[in-house]
Structure 1
Amino acid sequence: MWFMQKWKRSGSLLQLAMKDSSDVRKSFMFRLSQRSNLQYFKHILLCGSAQDRYVPLHSARIELCKAAVRDPTDQ
């Protein structure tokens, strides 16, 4: 993500990484999480593609990777 932020200079990538403010509590994502408007969403759709080399597919869909599923430690 660091490379893409430097290469693309995308404000949305900074927001997703919560680096758009030096204080996390002032970041866009934190402020968005505190708003009551999110209660109106019943469902969200997470999309990913195996051809996407930016993030692993399991990460794009917020799933555990196979190694994490097989890990017997309780953390």
Structure 2
Amino acid sequence: MKFYYVYVLQSLSRDWIYVGSTGDLRKRFKSHNNGENLSTKGYMPLKLIFYEAYLSKKDAIRREEYFKTTKGKTTLVLY
């Protein structure tokens, strides 16, 4: 069974978080910490602080988009 993930990374060097989605969480996390992603390169090292798994890519993307809204950011603070 294939899962799709929504994840939240926290920078250990700055006050900053990143929200993303992927079909391979381990590979994506490694690529972030190896400096392979322009969006997170300047914020390394990164720590995985939260993730959720979904059965459909569409649901994962929908949740990612929600977490990027003001209301979604407030929800993340509650976790």
| TM-score calculated relative to the size of structure 2 | 0.26
Looking at secondary structure, tell me which structure has more helix per residue: 1
Return the index of the structure with the highest Cα Rg: 1
| TM-score calculated relative to the size of structure 1 | 0.27
Greater relative contact order structure (CA < 8 Å, 6+ sep): 2
